[in-house]
A and B are shown apart, each in its own frame.
Chain A
Amino acid sequence: GDSVTQTEGLVTLTEGLPVMLNCTYQSTYSPFLFWYVQHLNEAPKLLLKSFTDNKRPEHQGFHATLHKSSSSFHLQKSSAQLSDSALYYCALSDWSNNRIFFGDGTQLVVKP
């Protein structure tokens, strides 16, 4: 079955340092991968998505490359900002169903 693994529950960074949040997945069929971001007391919203191998979508300075060979879709940003502090979910769907599976989420805290 489909599943998503986010290994870090909490990532704490100093402003200006690079961000990398890990996401690996298992999928029987060709997957669609997403990153959603949830700021405090707000609803989750889409940050970026991909279904093409080795393509790198970008949004608000964040980017992620889908690597089907390693089943990974890590989220990266070159320089963290205080406003990036939020809960980040990696998510997965595929051609077999219309359910989107979410990982456990990674809380990113950016400090001055």
Chain B
Amino acid sequence: AQSVSQHNHHVILSEAASLELGCNYSYGGTVNLFWYVQYPGQHLQLLLKYFSGDPLVKGIKGFEAEFIKSKFSFNLRKPSVQWSDTAEYFCAVSGNNRLAFGKGNQVVVIP
């Protein structure tokens, strides 16, 4: 079964700072990788996804992620965060049609 590890569960940073959230996965087969965002009190929304091709994928709201196969990683980045990026971010891996989530990163952006 697939599994996902996310580090630094709580991240606090100021507006305009850069954000990078780590994600490592384990799965023996072909994986699809995702980052979901959950704003306070809301449902999960897809930020970006990787299936194949260019390992650098761009998502909504200025987010991007890089798939590094040799490191089993899919780190999320944003060069300059805004207060509205305060949310919980979940990395997820899909294998055998089941989506498994990491523990999430709680990101708080201070104005």
Same assembly: no
